[in-house]
């Protein structure tokens, strides 16, 4: 706190005879020649010149008294400090306890100021010059005062320092001014820091709820409020977004209520300027119509801040205090600045919420609202929006009931992450669902979907995996178009990726032919289909992502009945929770799980139904494989060879001699036969042609015409039946049932 001395003025020493009290000053003479063992050694030779009479002129004393200036005289050799009554009063000295030494004087100074005063006095003594300082001193009652002094060192006849004489005056008022200035500077710094922190916090607030939370938690520096409220304005009504310091009942009455014109908030919005109210009397006098609400709030001072964004009022902030408060200019400026920050943040958050709601609504429309229930299987789906952007994209899932009680699973991702991609996804999902529901085989469904996307001419492509699940006996026929392989969780809890033959993404090559991969499930096993957002992210490659997914899928799952929800839902929740955090995830995620529960009662439904495309001859080979598996599961393997041959003949005949698709159906019936039971297999092939088959007798060199002859020779019975449009050809085979054979064994 010490400052450089100002230029010295005329100094007159007060004679010791006029000093009534002693004051302390720094003693620099520990390094002054002539001092021994801390004692003052009187100089040898002539003494100091002395004055006679009153050394203070008559005109100087009134001036010093009027300005509160005291004088001091410090005998450097004897280390004795003396001063007049004003000096003692300024320094708060007690003549009974003060021993007039420099050490006692320094002990009274503020610890931060004493070293500075000591150094300056020592320098003045060493240089026979002058010094001055501003320092703080503590009075006996503990009160802090400030003092300024100026002094000059006088030399004796030998040029050695002898005395220091000078003036001292009270600077406590200056101290208070400095303290107040320091407080104001600190307060301004706190307010500047508060504005920066508030701007940062509000800029990070994404939703309207975030803005309300940040506002109601703001610690206003220098004027801590007792109540904060944030309300938006919509169609002349206020909607409370957040509040602190108010009861819920009071806010509920204010929420969704029209804003009366006589309310201070209405005036702030109309005038687009803050309204400050310093007391309850001021409020009642200025706004009598709105006094009831203010009276119930229990507050005594208010600030109503209009929220103006792009020149349009969007809401109001209310800052209230329990005590009367007249806000100064700086406080009003702070609140006005805060209102501007909140307005901009709220406008941005409202736009974000509107865009998010639009995106969410569009996504809900594009994705199936519910997943159909299919007997024999359990499904679970999840969709996680991307952590940034519009939170809408081209990922989708679908579950399609198929003819014959089977089910189709679809998971896909259209290129891009915007509304355009979502629109294409919606069209593609509907088209693919229609193709699958018509009964087309998986390869044909995928090929037709690719041609459909190419015909849209959108310059977008899509990846997709389509799997048809035979609910009767748990066989999966999967087709992949540039998408991810499925993951299967086995009955023992292990999981692995099932390689599926892949083709180009949809829309790239319209004539692409897709290959089908067949794998089977046991009861209780689960197929997991997902989009790449689940297994790919920054810092995580595809292999690592699949390894993490398999670890999650392989975790423990409770058995049915052990948990409040189905274990499949728990698995879906666990997979979704392990996905990258929304703030880091750059892509949305679609997740589809299907568990094959197995046949009801432990016995598979003994029916196989398939549609065969008119130009899809490869489907006939697939049908033969399915029929073999079905008959083996149904316990009549002795019928496999004959049923496979005759079914091929009927299906080929329908495809070759018509221009429409054929529907193949195989059913196994169990009939009582005396003391045992026999199994009867009935195979039907339906087409839409009215041309009936004709039995011929081909020659030895003929290449056709033997189909019906084989049917007639090998089948226990066969025939042709008319339908509304087209016909139905059928044959039956009989065999001893597996149950009867076991009984006889």
Give residue-wise pLDDT tens across range 297-313. 889 999 999 999 888 99
DSSP-H helix ranges across 442-482: 442-456
The C-alpha atoms of residue 558 and residue 341 are separated, in whole angstroms, by: 51
The C-alpha atoms of residue 381 and residue 397 are separated, in whole angstroms, by: 8
Looking at residue 594, which CATH number applies to its domain?
3.60.40.10
Looking at residue 163, which CATH number applies to its domain?
3.30.450.20
The C-alpha atoms of residue 52 and residue 115 are separated, in whole angstroms, by: 37
The C-alpha atoms of residue 699 and residue 8 are separated, in whole angstroms, by: 144
The C-alpha atoms of residue 72 and residue 24 are separated, in whole angstroms, by: 9
The count of other CB atoms within 10 Å of the CB of residue 123 is 13
602: which DSSP letter? G
Residue 558 lies in a domain: yes
Residue 9 lies in a domain: no
Q: 497 has which bridge partners? A: 487
Residue with tokens 């006849």: 157
The model's confidence at residue 484, banded by pLDDT at 50, 70 and 90, is very high
Condensed to tens digits (0 to 9), the pLDDT of residues 116-171 reads: 888 989 998 999 999 988 888 877 777 788 888 899 999 988 889 999 999 898 88
Of 215, 166, 203, 389, nearest to 317 by C-alpha is 215
The C-alpha atoms of residue 730 and residue 745 are separated, in whole angstroms, by: 33
Contact 149, 72 (CB under 8 A): yes
pLDDT tops 90 at residue 282: yes
The pLDDT, as a whole number, for residue 383 is 86
- For strands 80-83 and 69-75, give the pairing: antiparallel
The C-alpha atoms of residue 424 and residue 431 are separated, in whole angstroms, by: 11
The count of other CB atoms within 10 Å of the CB of residue 542 is 11
Contact 95, 109 (CB under 8 A): no
pLDDT tops 90 at residue 365: no
Looking at residue 244, which CATH number applies to its domain?
3.30.450.40
The C-alpha atoms of residue 427 and residue 454 are separated, in whole angstroms, by: 12
286: which DSSP letter? H
Helices (H) and strands (E) in the chain, counts: 19, 29
Determine whether 182 is exposed, middle or buried from the number of CB atoms within 10 Å of its CB (0-12, 13-18, 19+): exposed
Please give the backbone phi and psi of residue 49, each rounded to the nearest 5 degrees, phi first.
-65, 145
Distance, C-alpha 117 to centroid of its chain: 58
pLDDT tops 50 at residue 6: no
Residue 180 lies in a domain: no
pLDDT tops 70 at residue 688: yes
Write the CA distances from 386 to 215, 271, 716, integer angstroms. Answer: 27, 42, 61
Check whether residue 271 and residue 323 sit in a common domain: yes
The pLDDT, as a whole number, for residue 26 is 38
Which of 289-303, 631-645, 660-674 is predicted with the least confidence, judged by mean pLDDT?
660-674
Task: Pick from 6-10, 217-221, 721-725 the range whose average pLDDT is largest.
Answer: 217-221
Check whether residue 338 and residue 451 sit in a common domain: no
The C-alpha atoms of residue 148 and residue 132 are separated, in whole angstroms, by: 7
Residue ending a domain, among 581, 601, 621, is 601
The C-alpha atoms of residue 476 and residue 455 are separated, in whole angstroms, by: 29
The pLDDT, as a whole number, for residue 555 is 81
Residue with tokens 């109210």: 277
The C-alpha atoms of residue 497 and residue 465 are separated, in whole angstroms, by: 14
Q: Report the domain count for the chain.
A: 4
The pLDDT, as a whole number, for residue 724 is 64
Greater pLDDT, 691 or 594: 594
Write the CA distances from 383 to 386, 391, 578, integer angstroms. Answer: 10, 11, 13
Which of 61-65, 476-480, 562-566, 599-603 is predicted with the least confidence, judged by mean pLDDT?
599-603
The C-alpha atoms of residue 10 and residue 713 are separated, in whole angstroms, by: 145
The pLDDT, as a whole number, for residue 530 is 93
Check whether residue 143 and residue 239 sit in a common domain: no
Residue 49 lies in a domain: no
Write the CA distances from 103 to 23, 25, 383, integer angstroms. Answer: 11, 8, 81
Contact 378, 595 (CB under 8 A): yes
Q: Which residues of 415-438 are buried (b: 16+ CB within 10 A; e: fewer)?
A: bbbeeebbbbbbebbebbbebbee
Residue 545 lies in a domain: yes
The C-alpha atoms of residue 122 and residue 28 are separated, in whole angstroms, by: 5
- The predicted model gives 14-38 an average pLDDT of 36
DSSP 696-739: ----TT-SSS-HHHHHHHH-SEEEEEE-SSSEEEEEEEEEE-HH
The model's confidence at residue 316, banded by pLDDT at 50, 70 and 90, is very high
pLDDT tops 60 at residue 699: no
Contact 309, 270 (CB under 8 A): no
The pLDDT, as a whole number, for residue 4 is 42
Residue 5 lies in a domain: no
Write the CA distances from 282 to 266, 294, 331, 730, integer angstroms. Answer: 17, 11, 19, 97
Contact 225, 236 (CB under 8 A): no
DSSP 118-146: HHHHHHHHHHT-EEEEEEEEE-TTS-EEE
The pLDDT, as a whole number, for residue 599 is 64
The pLDDT, as a whole number, for residue 450 is 93
Check whether residue 218 and residue 122 sit in a common domain: no
pLDDT tops 90 at residue 237: no
Of 107, 100, 108, nearest to 21 by C-alpha is 100
The C-alpha atoms of residue 297 and residue 299 are separated, in whole angstroms, by: 6
The answer for residues whose C-beta is within 8 angstroms of residue 514's C-beta and 6 or more apart is 442, 443, 446, 447, 479, 480, 481, 501, 503
Check whether residue 207 and residue 125 sit in a common domain: no
The pLDDT, as a whole number, for residue 697 is 56
Check whether residue 347 and residue 437 sit in a common domain: no
pLDDT over 70, % of the chain: 82
The C-alpha atoms of residue 742 and residue 745 are separated, in whole angstroms, by: 5
Check whether residue 304 and residue 453 sit in a common domain: no
Check whether residue 116 and residue 159 sit in a common domain: yes
Write the CA distances from 187 to 100, 184, 301, 335, integer angstroms. Answer: 42, 5, 21, 14
The C-alpha atoms of residue 595 and residue 197 are separated, in whole angstroms, by: 52
Condensed to tens digits (0 to 9), the pLDDT of residues 569-625 reads: 999 998 888 775 544 556 788 899 999 987 654 555 577 877 787 777 777 888 888
- Compute and round to an integer the Cα radius of gyration of the chain: 49
Supply the range of the domain harboring residue 201. Answer: 188-357
Residue 4 lies in a domain: no
Task: Pick from 342-356, 575-589, 594-608, 692-706 the range whose average pLDDT is largest.
Answer: 342-356
Residue 179 lies in a domain: no
The C-alpha atoms of residue 153 and residue 161 are separated, in whole angstroms, by: 6
* Three-class secondary structure of residue 517 per DSSP: strand
Of 190, 182, 168, 94, nearest to 138 by C-alpha is 94
Write the CA distances from 451 to 343, 443, 455, 465, 468, integer angstroms. Answer: 51, 13, 6, 16, 20
- The predicted model gives 496-501 an average pLDDT of 91
Check whether residue 326 and residue 441 sit in a common domain: no
Residue ending a domain, among 566, 582, 601, is 601
What is the reported pTM? 0.51
The pLDDT, as a whole number, for residue 103 is 83
- For strands 475-481 and 502-503, give the pairing: parallel
* Three-class secondary structure of residue 561 per DSSP: coil
Condensed to tens digits (0 to 9), the pLDDT of residues 88-105 reads: 888 777 766 677 888 888
Looking at residue 708, which CATH number applies to its domain?
3.30.565.10
Please give the backbone phi and psi of residue 19, each rounded to the nearest 5 degrees, phi first.
-80, 125
Of 588, 584, 556, 583, nearest to 570 by C-alpha is 556
Check whether residue 585 and residue 610 sit in a common domain: no
* Three-class secondary structure of residue 433 per DSSP: helix
Question: Any idea how long the chain is?
Answer: 745
Q: Can you read off the two tokens belonging to residue 144?
A: 């802090």
Torsion sign across C-alpha atoms 117, 122, 123, 129: positive
The pLDDT, as a whole number, for residue 391 is 56
Check whether residue 351 and residue 443 sit in a common domain: no
DSSP 49-97: ----S-SS-TTHHHHHHHTTEEEEEEETTTTEEEE-HHHHHHHT--TTT
Condensed to tens digits (0 to 9), the pLDDT of residues 659-683 reads: 778 888 898 888 766 656 788 899 9
Check whether residue 375 and residue 353 sit in a common domain: no
- For strands 237-244 and 227-234, give the pairing: antiparallel
- The predicted model gives 188-208 an average pLDDT of 83
Write the CA distances from 214 to 18, 199, 336, 475, integer angstroms. Answer: 69, 10, 17, 55
The C-alpha atoms of residue 50 and residue 402 are separated, in whole angstroms, by: 127
The pLDDT, as a whole number, for residue 485 is 94
The answer for residues whose C-beta is within 8 angstroms of residue 7's C-beta and 6 or more apart is none
Residue ending a domain, among 357, 383, 418, is 357
The pLDDT, as a whole number, for residue 674 is 61
């Amino acid at each position: 706190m010490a400052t450089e001395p100002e230029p010295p003025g005329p100094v007159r020493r007060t004679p010791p005879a006029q000093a009534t009290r002693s004051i302390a000053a720094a003693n620099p003479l520990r390094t002054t020649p002539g001092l021994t063992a801390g004692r003052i050694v009187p100089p040898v030779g002539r003494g100091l010149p002395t004055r006679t009479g009153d050394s203070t002129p008559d005109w100087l004393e009134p001036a010093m008294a009027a300005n509160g200036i005291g004088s001091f005289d410090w005998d450097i050799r004897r280390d004795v400090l003396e001063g007049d009554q004003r000096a003692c009063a300024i320094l708060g000295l007690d003549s009974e306890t003060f021993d007039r030494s420099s050490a006692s004087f320094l002990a009274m100074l503020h610890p931060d100021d004493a070293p500075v005063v000591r150094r300056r006095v020592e320098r003045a003594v060493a240089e026979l010059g002058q010094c001055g300082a501003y320092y703080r001193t503590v009075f006996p009652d503990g009160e802090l005062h400030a003092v300024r002094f100026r002094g000059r060192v006088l030399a004796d006849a030998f040029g050695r320092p002898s005395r220091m004489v000078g003036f001292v005056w009270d600077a406590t008022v200056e101290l208070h001014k400095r303290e107040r200035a320091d407080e104001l500077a600190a307060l301004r710094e706190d307010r500047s820091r508060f504005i920066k922190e508030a701007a940062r916090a509000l800029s990070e607030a994404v939703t309207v709820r975030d803005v309300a939370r940040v506002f109601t938690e703001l610690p206003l520096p220098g004027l801590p409020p007792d109540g904060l409220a944030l309300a938006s304005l919509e169609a002349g009504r206020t909607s409370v977004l957040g509040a602190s310091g108010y009861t819920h009942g009071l806010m509920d009455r204010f929420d969704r209520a029209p804003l009366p014109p006589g309310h201070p908030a209405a005036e702030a919005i109309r005038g687009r300027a803050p309204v400050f109210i310093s007391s309850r009397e001021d409020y009642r006098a200025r706004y009598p119509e709105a006094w009831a609400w203010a009276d119930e709030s229990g507050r005594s001072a208010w600030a109503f801040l209009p929220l103006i964004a792009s020149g349009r009022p969007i809401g109001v902030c209310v800052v209230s205090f329990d005590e009367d408060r007249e806000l100064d200019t700086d406080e009003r400026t702070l609140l006005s600045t805060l209102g501007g920050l909140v307005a901009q943040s709220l406008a941005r958050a409202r736009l974000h919420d509107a865009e998010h709601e639009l995106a969410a609504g569009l996504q809900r429309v594009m994705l199936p609202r519910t997943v159909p229930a299919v007997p024999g299987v359990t499904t679970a789906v999840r969709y996680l929006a991307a952590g940034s952007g519009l939170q809408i994209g081209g990922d989708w899932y679908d579950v399609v009931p198929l003819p014959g009680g089977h089910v189709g699973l679809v998971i896909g991702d259209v290129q891009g992450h915007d509304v355009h991609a979502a629109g294409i996804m919606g069209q593609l999902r509907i088209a693919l669902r229609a193709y699958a529901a018509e009964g087309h085989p998986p390869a044909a469904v995928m090929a037709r979907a690719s041609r459909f996307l190419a015909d849209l001419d959108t310059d977008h492509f899509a990846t997709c995996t389509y799997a048809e699940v035979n609910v009767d006996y748990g066989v999966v026929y999967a087709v992949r178009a540039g998408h991810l392989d499925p993951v299967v969780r086995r009955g023992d809890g292990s999981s692995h990726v099932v390689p599926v033959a892949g083709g180009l993404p949809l829309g790239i090559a319209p004539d692409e032919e897709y290959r089908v991969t067949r794998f089977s499930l046991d009861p209780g096993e689960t197929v997991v289909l997902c989009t790449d957002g689940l297994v790919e992210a920054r810092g995580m490659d595809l292999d690592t992502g699949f390894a993490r997914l398999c670890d999650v899928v392989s975790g423990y799952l409770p058995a049915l009945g052990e948990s409040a929800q189905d274990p499949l839902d728990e698995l879906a929740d666990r997979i979704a929770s392990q996905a990258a955090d929304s703030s880091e995830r750059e892509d949305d995620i679609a997740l589809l799980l299907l568990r094959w529960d197995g046949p009801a009662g432990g016995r598979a439904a003994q029916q196989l139904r398939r549609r065969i495309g008119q130009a899809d001859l490869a489907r006939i080979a697939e049908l033969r494989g399915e029929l073999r598996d079905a008959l083996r599961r149904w316990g009549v393997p002795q019928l496999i060879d004959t049923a496979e041959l005759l079914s091929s003949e009927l299906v080929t005949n329908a495809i070759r001699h018509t221009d429409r698709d054929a529907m193949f159906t195989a059913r196994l019936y169990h009939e009582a036969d005396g003391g045992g039971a026999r199994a009867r297999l009935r195979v039907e092939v339906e087409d839409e042609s009215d041309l009936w088959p004709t039995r011929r007798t081909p020659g030895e060199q003929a290449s056709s015409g033997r189909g019906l002859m084989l049917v007639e020779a090998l089948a226990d019975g066969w025939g042709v039946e008319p339908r509304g449009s087209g016909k139905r050809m059928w044959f039956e085979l009989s065999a001893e049932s597996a149950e009867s054979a076991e009984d006889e064994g």
